[in-house]
A and B are shown apart, each in its own frame.
Chain A
Amino acid sequence: DAGITQSPRHKVTETGTPVTLRCHQTENHRYMYWYRQDPGHGLRLIHYSYGVKDTDKGEVSDGYSVSRSKTEDFLLTLESATSSQTSVYFCAISQGVLGGYTFGSGTRLTVV
């Protein structure tokens, strides 16, 4: 495996509660991303980071925030979870050179 892990793998939470998903890499890659996967939409970018404390919004960032205080960790927070945020969340890393991303195994989040 490429040294990227996501936690937790599964989570069920109630509407209105805060939730934090964690992505951890051991590759020392500069770029990290959070995507969500939904049927009919494929993968959509939520937020990304291009370095420690350097983050930016993606295509579907509303309702999400991120933090990156260390190169190896990229956290995604749902401030107040809603049912529309039920999804599978993938973290990805990139060296920033030609080629694709390396994805984690995903976190399945259910908001009830």
Chain B
Amino acid sequence: DQQVKQNSPSLSVQEGRISILNCDYTNSMFDYFLWYKKYPAEGPTFLISISSIKDKNEDGRFTVFLNKSAKHLSLHIVPSQPGDSAVYFCAAREGIYNNNDMRFGAGTRLTVKP
């Protein structure tokens, strides 16, 4: 039972354009959400997070939007760069400080073309 879903296995965008990665969740108890980025042969690295008390969080070129009523979040990358090409994982957990269980989506492979 996958509680966090990334329905697009892959996404291809042109350099300089916007990349939008989507994530849906089913567990209404989730209140803290994170995005991780993963390059081949490396572990995932933390990118950006958002708590359920917010609907937007921005960090440089990366912005995460949260729509709690739709149980949906998205990661926007503007402008996209070739170095952003990686697999992006959405993750969620119950409780901002809960470290016992974080659920991940299956990932979306982003390719940014020069």
Which residues of A approach B to under 8 Å, CB–CB? 31, 35, 39-45, 48, 50, 56, 58-59, 90, 92, 94, 96-106
Say which residue of B42, B44, B97 sits within 8 Å of A96 (CB atoms). Answer: B97
B96 at the interface (CB under 8 A from A): yes
Beta-carbon nearest neighbor of A29 in chain B: B99
Q: How long is the Cα–Cα vector from A90 to B6 in the complex, in angstroms? A: 20
Interface residues of B in 1-39 (CB under 8 A from A): 2, 4, 6, 34, 36
Which of chain B's residues have a CB closer than 8 A to the CB of A102?
Answer: 46
Q: Is the interface of B mostly helix, strand, loop or mixed?
A: loop
Count A/B pairs, Cβ under 8 Å: 62
Which of the listed residues B45, B100, B102 has the most CB atoms from chain A within 10 Å of its own CB?
B102
Which residues of B approach A to under 8 Å, CB–CB? 2, 4, 6, 34, 36, 41-46, 49, 89, 91, 96-97, 99-107
Does B101 contact A42, Cβ atoms closer than 8 Å?
no
Does B104 contact A100, Cβ atoms closer than 8 Å?
no
Does A90 contact B44, Cβ atoms closer than 8 Å?
yes
Which of chain A's residues have a CB closer than 8 A to the CB of B49?
Answer: 98-100
Beta-carbon nearest neighbor of B45 in chain A: A103
Which of chain B's residues have a CB closer than 8 A to the CB of A104?
Answer: 43
Which of chain B's residues have a CB closer than 8 A to the CB of A94?
Answer: 99
